[in-house]
Amino acid sequence: MSPPQVSPPQVSQTRTLEPVVVRRPVQRSHWWREVLIIAAFYGLYTLVRDLRGDKPVSKFQAFTNAKRIIHGERWFGLFHEAAIQQVVLPHRWLIRLCDDYYGTFHFLLTVFVLVLLYFWFPERYRMWRNVLALVTGLALVGFYFFPLMPPRLLPPGYGFVDTLRVVGGLWNFSSGPVNDVSNQYAAMPSLHTAWSVWCACALASVIRPIWGRVLVFLYPAFTVFAIVVTANHYFADAIAGLLLLAVAILIVHPLTRALDRHAARRTARSELGQR
Q: What is the average pLDDT value for the chain, to the nearest integer?
A: 83
pLDDT band at 103 (very low <50, low <70, confident <90, very high): confident
* Ranges of each domain in the chain: 31-270
Q: What is the mean pLDDT of residues 81-98?
A: 96
**pLDDT score, position 5:** 53
pLDDT band at 35 (very low <50, low <70, confident <90, very high): confident
With a cut of 70, say whether residue 265 has pLDDT above it. yes
Q: What is the mean pLDDT of residues 80-87?
A: 97
Cis upstream peptide for 189 (omega within 30°): yes
The residue among 124 and 34 whose pLDDT is bigger is: 124
- Residues whose CB falls within 8 Å of the CB of residue 26, separated by 6 or more in sequence, listed in order: 122, 123
Query: Considering the chain, what percentage of its residues have pLDDT values greater than 70?
Result: 77
Q: What is the mean pLDDT of residues 193-215?
A: 95
The residue among 133 and 229 whose pLDDT is bigger is: 229
With a cut of 70, say whether residue 64 has pLDDT above it. yes
Q: What is the mean pLDDT of residues 113-140?
A: 91
Structure confidence by residue, pLDDT tens digits, 167-177? 876 655 554 43
**pLDDT score, position 262:** 76
52-56, 106-110, 233-237, range with the lowest pLDDT: 52-56
Q: How many CA atoms lie within 13 A of 244 on its CB side?
A: 27
With a cut of 60, say whether residue 21 has pLDDT above it. no
In angstroms, the CA 208 to CA 267 distance is: 31
Q: What is the mean pLDDT of residues 15-40?
A: 59
- 3-class secondary structure per residue, the chain: CCCCCCCCCCCCCCCCCCCCCCCCCCCCCCHHHHHHHHHHHHHHHHHHHHHHCCCCCCHHHHHHHHHHHHHHHHHHCCCCHHHHHHHHCCCHHHHHHHHHHHHHHHHHHHHHHHHHHHHHCHHHHHHHHHHHHHHHHHHHHHHHHCCCCCHHHCCHHHCCCCHHHHCCCCCCCCCHHHHHHCCCCCCCCCHHHHHHHHHHHHHHCCCCCHHHHHHHCHHHHHHHHHHHHCCCCCHHHHHHHHHHHHHHHHHHHHHHHHHHHHHHHHHHHHHHHCC
